[in-house]
């Protein structure tokens, strides 16, 4: 959510910034300002009336006389009218405000921009399904749950847990507290992180219980400090969340249908940080550096892409993707992603800190993928494959319990 005071003070700057995302984003600003103007007028009238009521009842000991009672009743009736109107207009205004996406950072590029390529890309070879064989069981997954579901079997299960353990240990060394959060959440958490109303069609919902399945633990990690005022000394707060993620992939029909690249359910270790406003950009670079370091440890060739403004989600001001080279597809594909969401989520979730001077301020939040397990397994299989179809796994994973070599299919 944007700061409405900022929009009032400098609507042109907000319109211009949102305009970089596309023509529709800026249009809401005018509707918002008009509703806000109406709201403030009603609000002023309501408060004047309340002040009058307070003056009349202040110091009162006993019941009023019949004449007084009549006057007071008239005031109260008028107050109810104004109050109802105020509530209605405020709801409309707040809906417009909530629909506005975050202001993009000045240095978020207009076009996707490749910043660098690291590692030996360009190899081609068998894809992950060929290499995994029955260790990725798509047919039975589909029989059980439908398309885009899979059983992970045998050694790949140890590979998954090695990846998770590796990531969590590495992040603990970087000052992140490990967290296993709930994956079923209330609407507020999705609204607060900007996934609602933005990406409603991607989210699984359990209507009988009014709960949603999270598409990323970012939702639960951001909400960890919902409605709290944090101590300045506690910042930055860094969390490494492990959770299963659920995505409907509506609108992706026919896209990435082979294998486990795009599935409805996968596991992920996610980084999430709460920082003082001035620290956001530096923290964002730090998250990107950790993502790159993990890819390097895992010997996965990758490139870093600064994402175009019109491709940012509602909450991100700036975003980097790390794309891994996948020999099975002969191209780079998104593996991890890190966003600086500035104060957008913090404002929606009511997360503030108390600075040394002055009133509480909203913190800035950032998120980044440490390991998206399914896609990382794809990258490891395809990049680690040997001529005979076996797969050599990197040492850091072996140290965490992965087999040195996944044998070829016989």
Catalytic residue annotation: 247, 262, 334, 337, 375
Identity of the residue, 22 or 360, whose beta carbon is nearer to RNA in the bound complex: 360
Smallest separation, CB 37 to RNA (Å): 8
Comparing CB distances to RNA, the nearer of 233 and 253 is 233
Backbone region of residue 270 per phi and psi (left: phi > 0; alpha: psi in -120 to 50; beta: other values): beta
**Chain Cα centroid distance, residue 16:** 24
Residue number, 43 or 303, with CB nearest to RNA: 43
The dihedral built from the CA positions of residue 51, 56, 60 and 62, taken in this order, carries a sign that is negative
Q: How many helices (H) and strands (E) does the chain have?
A: 13, 18
In whole angstroms, give the CA distance from residue 387 to residue 46: 78
E strands in 68-221: 113-118, 136-137, 151-152, 177-179, 184-185, 205-206, 211-213
From the CB of 214, what's the least distance to RNA, in Å? 17
Residue carrying structure tokens 């939040």: 365
Residues that bind RNA (CB under 7 A): 4-5, 40, 43-44, 47-48, 50-51, 53-55, 57-64, 69, 72-73, 75-76, 87, 229, 352, 358-361
Tokens standing for residue 351: 């997360």
Q: Least distance to RNA from the beta carbon of 162, Å?
A: 24
Cβ at position 362, least distance to RNA in Å: 9
The residue among 75 and 142 lying less far from RNA, judged by its C-beta, is 75
Of 229 and 289, which CB lies nearer to RNA in the complex structure? 229
Quote the CA–CA distance of 239 and 176 in Å, as a whole number: 5
Minimum Å distance from CB 142 to RNA? 27
CA distance 244 to 213: 9
Cα–Cα nearest to 295, from 118, 177, 121: 118
């Amino acid at each position: 959510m944007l700061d409405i005071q900022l929009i009032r003070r400098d609507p042109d700057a907000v319109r211009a910034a949102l305009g970089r995302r596309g023509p529709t984003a800026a249009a809401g600003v005018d509707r918002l300002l008009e509703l806000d103007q109406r709201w403030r007028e009603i609000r002023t009238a309501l408060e004047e009336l309340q002040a009058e009521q307070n003056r009349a009842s202040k110091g009162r000991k006993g019941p009023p006389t019949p004449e007084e009672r009549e006057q007071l009743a008239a005031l109260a009736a008028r107050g109810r009218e104004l109050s109802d109107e105020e509530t209605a207009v405020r709801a409309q205004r707040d809906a417009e405000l909530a629909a506005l996406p975050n202001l993009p950072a000045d240095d978020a590029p207009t076009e996707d921009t490749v910043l660098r390529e690291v590692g030996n890309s360009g190899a081609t070879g068998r894809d992950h399904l060929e290499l995994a064989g029955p260790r990725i069981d798509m047919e039975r997954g589909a029989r059980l749950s439908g398309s885009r579901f899979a059983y992970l079997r045998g050694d790949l299960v140890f590979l998954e847990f090695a990846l998770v353990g590796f990531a969590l240990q590495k992040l603990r060394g970087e000052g992140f507290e490990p967290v296993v959060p709930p994956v079923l959440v209330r609407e507020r958490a999705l609204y607060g992180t900007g996934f609602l109303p933005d990406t409603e069609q991607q989210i699984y919902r359990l209507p009988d219980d009014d709960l949603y399945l999270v598409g990323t633990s970012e939702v639960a990690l951001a909400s960890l400090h919902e409605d709290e005022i944090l101590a300045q000394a506690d910042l930055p707060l860094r969390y490494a969340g492990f959770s299963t993620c659920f995505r409907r992939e509506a609108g992706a029909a026919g896209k990435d249908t082979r294998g486990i690249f795009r599935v409805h359910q996968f596991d992920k270790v996610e980084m999430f940080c709460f920082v003082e406003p001035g620290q956001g950009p530096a923290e964002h670079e730090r998250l990107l550096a950790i993502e790159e370091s993990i890819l390097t440890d895992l010997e996965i060739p990758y490139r870093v892409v600064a994402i175009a403004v019109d491709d940012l989600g509602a909450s991100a001001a700036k975003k980097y993707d790390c794309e891994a080279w996948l020999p099975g597809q002969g191209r780079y594909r998104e593996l991890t992603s890190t966003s600086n969401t500035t104060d957008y989520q913090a404002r929606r979730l009511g997360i503030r800190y108390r600075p040394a001077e002055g009133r509480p301020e909203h913190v800035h939040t950032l998120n980044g993928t440490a390991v998206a397990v399914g896609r990382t397994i794809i990258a490891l299989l395809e990049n680690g494959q040997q001529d005979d179809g076996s797969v050599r796994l990197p040492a850091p994973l072996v140290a965490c319990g992965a087999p040195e070599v996944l044998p070829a299919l016989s």
